[in-house]
Chains A and B, each alone.
Chain A
């Protein structure tokens, strides 16, 4: 392989020639009419040339390296699939991680691609425009390769085929959809803080580093290779996000309060989004590398502290939610898994009670909380299941108006009580999971009154399949919602007794003898 770019100039000169020197100011129309989006948020920029991509990656080098990444990726994917790799994963429960990932992540990668395409058009400087263009292509690549790698599992396991239909309809996917909808409907600078900084720099380490390393640990070479291939782009994305923050703060002191508010908002929104990722790490990986709590400490508390200490020279302070996230790291994954376990008819993946050794692992990893609050309820639910009385809460959820999580998190300082917050706007009541979500709403109520809440839409009669009369006197939205979601019934319910469980055992048995 010849990876060398023909070098006549140094990296800095080449970057300048191939990015900034290719840009021009418009003359037929004034610049502020061509780029109207960069001013309305209140961010003041005086010199766009001060923005520089520290990777100094030019488009020609970008295509060269990305092509090489794709060749490596598909070589591994082909080998894995040709060798019936799906039977080499630790346990058929693992497939449910992929199902949750497929519904929740690739559609958001697509939204990121759309967002960076827009911001790449909206920004004035050539530096950020080129970097956004590269990131848009990256995100599109992630969206496609994630789906492509999981498509092989779709031939064998239930519940994967309708993820695109379900993404904008199902209750448990609304939090991620709302996160990106909120970001993409903001201005370009807020989008950069939301996705480039809070999501990429502060939070995605939790998703991709321990989780993808976890996929490798569980024998899933397909998810591992696609995850790491995507992740090789993330370092560049993180750098773009951090550069954007520094750029805004260096351009004008008036930008500080705006940037601080965005950091507070998006760190919190990202934290809420990651509750389900943490649950995948603690409950859904049959073999676990580290607990969500440990990952949070390494990648959020320590790494985040390094970042915010560094940004203190601009006047940036740690996000308001920082201390609450430290308290919650002991709780959120357990509260999330209970929330999914109790709805066996409402997800296209299976849930289960962890085995005794897994409960012991959780007790060890969460010494302050697991035995005190969570283990007794899991043991109770386990007994119930074994006597044929598996928990199935058939009611519809209450959701937070901002993050659209179900309202399931505890009151700070009181793990036995649920946290409720509310406010009134134009005579209507709105409910939140936390002080932070309430603050976000109160800053821009006009935006969040439009939130899509799946259970509410069902109760309005908007979630019935064709041919069902929503005005009939005996209409009950819960009767039709699974059809509206195109939920494969074989993919619902407890893992124990599922078709996936039986098939995996039978196929693995066949794989070891004639």
Chain B
């Protein structure tokens, strides 16, 4: 549907890629660990290796959770929004097909949060 307005109505998106000076937004969520309330957002260059996401950002945020130490990283299921994918840790975000404002969700089978609550 087009907006109804009294005059021409054409304004730019607040979060267009060009506003990030060579970086792109990326959201990260650990599924069934809702203690962290919501995903977190990063602005990274597209050549950032995927391993940095895991070793730095995911570890810094989620290692507070007692499940974190028990993650078997070979069993982790990765999704880009609803689509399952298999990231190559040594390759970049771009090479892993990750674009501006993509949402990376990871599920850790067998780990369902504090006392199995999803938190």
Q: Do chains A and B touch in the complex (CB under 8 A)?
A: yes
List the interface of chain A (C-beta within 8 A of B): 36-37, 40-42, 187, 335, 338-339, 342, 372-374, 376-377, 380-381, 389, 391, 393-398, 406-408, 410, 415-418, 420, 422, 426, 428-431, 442-447, 449-453, 455-457, 459-461, 471
Within the assembled complex, what's the spacing in Å between the Cα atoms of A68 and B13?
A: 49
Cβ contact within 8 Å between A397 and B118? no
Cβ contact within 8 Å between B10 and A418? no
Within the assembled complex, what's the spacing in Å between the Cα atoms of A420 and B66?
A: 25
Residue numbers in B under 8 Å from A422 (CB-CB): 81, 103
Within the assembled complex, what's the spacing in Å between the Cα atoms of A339 and B27?
A: 17
Cβ contact within 8 Å between B11 and A449? yes
Cβ contact within 8 Å between B4 and A42? yes
The one of B13, B19, B119 that contacts A374, using a Cβ cutoff of 8 Å:
B119
Residue of B nearest to A470 (CB): B21
Cβ contact within 8 Å between A429 and B100? yes
Cβ contact within 8 Å between B61 and A395? yes
Main secondary structure, interface of B, reads loop
The one of B4, B43, B81 that contacts A420, using a Cβ cutoff of 8 Å:
B81
Cβ contact within 8 Å between B101 and A450? no
20 A-B pairs with C-beta separation under 8 A: A40-B6, A338-B119, A373-B119, A377-B113, A393-B61, A395-B36, A396-B42, A397-B38, A398-B38, A406-B38, A408-B34, A415-B118, A416-B117, A418-B38, A420-B29, A430-B101, A449-B12, A452-B14, A455-B41, A461-B21
- Chain B residues 43-60 with CB under 8 Å of chain A are 43, 57, 60
- Chain B residues 30-44 with CB under 8 Å of chain A are 31-32, 34-43
Cβ contact within 8 Å between B35 and A377? yes
| B115 at the A interface (CB under 8 A) | yes
Cβ contact within 8 Å between B4 and A41? yes
Cβ contact within 8 Å between A380 and B15? no
| B2 CB to nearest chain A CB (Å) | 7
Cβ contact within 8 Å between A416 and B113? yes
List the interface of chain B (C-beta within 8 A of A): 1-6, 9-17, 19-21, 23, 25, 27, 29, 31-32, 34-43, 57, 60-61, 64, 66, 81, 99-103, 105, 112-115, 117-119
Residue numbers in B under 8 Å from A442 (CB-CB): 1
Residue numbers in A under 8 Å from B3 (CB-CB): 444-447
Cβ contact within 8 Å between A460 and B19? yes
Considering residues B11, B12, B29, B37, which has the most beta carbons from chain A within 10 angstroms of its beta carbon? Answer: B37
Residue numbers in A under 8 Å from B19 (CB-CB): 460
Cβ contact within 8 Å between B37 and A342? yes
Residue numbers in B under 8 Å from A410 (CB-CB): 34
Given A422-B81, A446-B3, A376-B119 contact (CB < 8 Å): yes
Residue of A nearest to B14 (CB): A450
Given A36-B6, A41-B4, A456-B25, A428-B37 contact (CB < 8 Å): no
The one of A339, A374, A460, A461 that contacts B37, using a Cβ cutoff of 8 Å:
A339
Within the assembled complex, what's the spacing in Å between the Cα atoms of A387 and B86?
A: 39
Within the assembled complex, what's the spacing in Å between the Cα atoms of A82 and B37?
A: 43
Cβ contact within 8 Å between A429 and B5? no
The one of A40, A42, A456 that contacts B41, using a Cβ cutoff of 8 Å:
A456
**Sample of 16 more A-B contacts, CB < 8 Å, known A335-B37, A398-B29, A446-B2:** A339-B37, A342-B35, A372-B117, A373-B118, A376-B119, A391-B35, A393-B64, A396-B40, A397-B37, A397-B41, A398-B39, A408-B34, A416-B34, A416-B118, A446-B10, A459-B41
